[in-house]
Amino acid sequence: MGFNKDKTRKLLEDIDDLFDQLPIKMSGKHKTYIKNAVLGPALNEVRNMIEESRPPVMMIVGRSGHGKSSLINALVGREVAKVNPVVPETQGSTCYEVPFEEFGATWRMIDTRGFFDVINPKAANKEEAEKQLKKEILEYRPDIFLHVINIKEIRTMSKDLLVMKDIRETLKKEDIKIPIVTILSNVDILGNPRVPIEDPEKQGQIIQGMNYLIREVFQIEEPKVKFLDLHHPSKGYILREDHYLAIIPLSTYPDNLWNVETLEEYIGEVLPERAKLDYLQVKNQTAQMKKFTTSIIKRFSTVAGGVGSSPIPIADFFVLTPLQILMIILIGTLAGKEMKIETAHEYLGAMGLNIGAALGFRSLAHQLTKMIPIGGMFISGGIASSATFALGKSAEMYFFHGKVVNPKNIKVK
């Protein structure tokens, strides 16, 4: 279902209300301390994580007709860009603001039309076109460049690469570093277009094209290159350089998509943290989402440790319950569930706890203590942290893999 700022605010209000229903006796002073010094920072961290997230900005560069628009459509999953303009129609870039309402997410795709063409419309010369491109890069501040090159045209790309080198130098002066991924497009038309891309001969041609680009055009030494997928060398290379990060071959023809998922996964790895949430929600990449959940689990475990170490007469799992419920909900939301308290109820119910929504928070808190690895009224910071970590990993296994594993059986390293 994805994250939504309004739903996030409502959830945090509900969690805050749950804290006021704690089934333990505590002085107003101590309760205020816990609420402001422990739970408050955790709620603020979640609030900031959602509210500071922003759309990923992907800038696609390359010559007209090399497959920039097709690449945008393949990544987005629907047609948003006009495909295959033979002659560039405009000098400036086209910004596509692409909403994904079902996920509450947005992407920003920048198509730089015509900057690498021999003839630039309405441009007096090559220098003017490059100047315009640099200006738009500083305007849009992309998170990643996707440099599209027709695999059949790699022998004519030297001028294009010089332009990119000049752009990198300009960005360096502005203290801006943007990763660049080379996309070798139209691999489906190598050799006989009727032959499937998976054909061994065509696979060999794809590898040959990448090797030519690396050795002859980029002039990169072999030790500075490694496969993206050891079992499928044709899926691309990672370059150990400070500018171009990878070479990924693609077919983006709607009826013959190939290797797009490799690019999608790689983009998810290199995007900055603030741009990842909107991107990963749309692509639903389990491996990348689990990295997010691991980060959340570690953060909440640290906060739980603070509860266990807090200077109050009683700091038990009842106090931790709102924090742990919030963590469970966030993990479930990252796995595609709705961002609401019922998501935590679903998980706890799967663990065998009788915690129907009508039972209320008081019963839920009592039930939750039964599945914590170590019980007891008084806990140390280390125990609270370990217990919360185990609970989070159990929730992760349930929401992402459908496995019911009691937190007591989770080994905490």
Does the pLDDT of residue 268 top 80, yes or no? Answer: yes
Does the pLDDT of residue 32 top 60, yes or no? Answer: yes
Residue of 257, 121, 245 lying closest to 187 (CA atoms) = 257
Out of 5-19, 280-294, 347-361, 371-385, give the one with best mean pLDDT: 280-294
Distance CA 49, CA 273 (A): 10
Distance CA 265, CA 64 (A): 26
Higher pLDDT, 48 or 215: 215
pLDDT score at 97: 92
pLDDT score at 123: 46
DSSP annotation of 64: T
Domain ranges, ordered by start, for the chain: 5-52+284-409, 57-270
pLDDT score at 116: 59
pLDDT score at 360: 46
pLDDT score at 73: 92
pLDDT score at 381: 58
Structure-token pair, residue 370: 């039964």
Give the pLDDT confidence of 58-75 residue by residue, as tens digits: 999 888 788 888 999 999
Does the pLDDT of residue 86 top 70, yes or no? Answer: no
Residue 378: pLDDT band by 50, 70, 90 thresholds?
very low
CA atoms within 13 A on the CB side of 293: 30
CB 80 within 8 A of CB 73: yes
Place of tokens 């816990």: 34
Instruction: Identify the bridge partners of residue 258 per DSSP, sorted by sequence position.
Output: 251
Residue 352 has φ and ψ, to the nearest 5°, of 95, 15
Residue 370: pLDDT band by 50, 70, 90 thresholds?
low
Question: Does domain 57-270 correspond to CATH entry 3.20.20.70?
Answer: no
Q: Which residues of 260-273 are buried (b: 16+ CB within 10 A; e: fewer)?
A: bebbbbbbbeebee
Give the pLDDT confidence of 120-132 residue by residue, as tens digits: 444 445 666 677 7
Q: How does the average pLDDT of the chain come out, rounded?
A: 78
Out of 56-60, 277-281, 285-289, 370-374, give the one with best mean pLDDT: 56-60
Give the pLDDT confidence of 198-229 residue by residue, as tens digits: 999 999 999 999 999 888 888 887 767 888 88
Q: What is the DSSP string of 156-220?
A: G-HHHHHHHHHHHHHHHHTT----EEEEEE-GGGSS-TTS-TTSHHHHHHHHHHHHHIIIIIS--
What mean pLDDT comes out for the span 11-21? Answer: 70
pLDDT score at 354: 56
Q: What is the DSSP string of 16-42?
A: HHHHHT-SS---HHHHHHHIIIIIHHH
CB 55 within 8 A of CB 74: no
Q: Percentage of the chain with pLDDT > 90? A: 22
What mean pLDDT comes out for the span 291-303? Answer: 82
- Least confidently predicted of 101-105, 251-255, 365-369: 365-369
What mean pLDDT comes out for the span 334-359? Answer: 74
pLDDT score at 314: 45
Structure-token pair, residue 210: 């990448």
Residue 280 has φ and ψ, to the nearest 5°, of -70, -30
Q: Which strand ranges, in their side-by-side order, compose the sheet holding 93-100? A: 93-100, 105-112, 57-62, 144-150, 180-185, 244-249, 237-239, 225-227
Give the pLDDT confidence of 132-172 residue by residue, as tens digits: 778 888 889 999 999 999 998 888 777 777 777 777 787 77
CB 337 within 8 A of CB 346: yes
* Collapsed DSSP state (helix, strand, coil) of residue 309: coil
Distance CA 279, CA 55 (A): 7
Give the pLDDT confidence of 171-189 residue by residue, as tens digits: 778 788 888 899 999 999 8
